[in-house]
Amino acid sequence: MTDSINATGADGGLGGFFQNLTDSIISQIPFWQDVLLPALWDGLWVTMQLVVMTAPLGFLLGLLIAVSRVYGSAPVKWLAQLYVIFFRGCPLLVLLFILYFGLPSVGIVLGSFMSALVGFILCNSAYNSEYLRGALQSIKRGQLLAARSLGMTKMQGVMYVVVPQALRRALPGVSNEFIYLIKYSSLAYVVAVIELTGAAKIIASKYFMYFEAFAAVGIFYLVIVTIATIGIHRLEMKYAIPGVSGAVGKVSKGH
């Protein structure tokens, strides 16, 4: 036991072990400062761009698909359904390959970043549409009937009465999908987009610092996901309907 510790420390003893550890960390500071972190910041910037552009577009497209599936005419329903079957059924990796390597052979060249972005939006919207469809269908029929009885068109009833309620119900699912998006955005490296994970991979193999690079990248993701989770929680609190179970009321209950 003591032998092994002694063997680690150059001048023997516990103090020596920590001395060594500190020395090795200090000796790595230039690597972190000058190589790893700058590369990761660049990668983070690309990841953020992908996520920040995909999330709203994937959400809106998902909503459009969901509303089409629930309230559209027969052909519109059918098209929306086809969209979901295709983009939910196709593995994201395969989808990215098709967009990046396949489309150029029919004359459509999207480039790395665009391929990743388009792939993510298609995938994200297909999944979101399923959460939103379930939520739309869970809203009681009477809500739309009441809206229509007041003279609202079907469109107005859906927009002002059903959708706002459905969004609240879909929020946990859509949020979950957002967290997934942050993580699967690392797949962009297969179409040569150097985002957070890709950046770490390059540094790791170049400097043979696998543990450091991926530990750092893990912490980056953890921080992003934690911030996102806090944001989502705030959103849920903000839009909770007072009086509905689990919701925090703005107005206290009467009597």
CA distances from 106 to 90, 100, 102, 117, 173 (A): 20, 11, 8, 19, 36
CB of 90 or CB of 159, closer to another protein: 159
> Taking the complex as a whole, how short is the minimal distance between the CB of residue 186 and another protein, in angstroms?
37
> Taking the complex as a whole, how short is the minimal distance between the CB of residue 139 and another protein, in angstroms?
9
67 interacts with another protein by CB under 8 A? no
Half-sphere exposure of 16 (CA within 13 A, CB side): 11
Find out whether 170 and 198 touch, Cβ atoms under 8 Å: no
CB of 211 or CB of 253, closer to another protein: 253
Residue holding tokens 């909770």? 240
Where does residue 250 rank: exposed (0-12), middle (13-18), buried (19+ CB within 10 A)? exposed
Binding-residue total with another protein (CB under 8 A):
26
Q: Of 3-11, 42-50, 137-145, 218-226, which part binds another protein (CB under 8 A)?
A: 137-145
DSSP code string of 138-168: HS-HHHHHHHHHTT--HHHHIIIIIHHHHHH
Closest CA to 68 of 163, 174, 146: 163
Q: Of 90-98, 135-143, 175-183, 202-210, which part binds another protein (CB under 8 A)?
A: 135-143
**What string marks each residue from 203 to 242 as x (binds another protein by CB under 8 A) or -?**
--------------------------------------xx
Q: Where do contacts with another protein occur on this chain (CB under 8 A)? A: 140, 142-143, 145-153, 156, 160-161, 164-165, 168, 241-244, 249, 251, 253-254
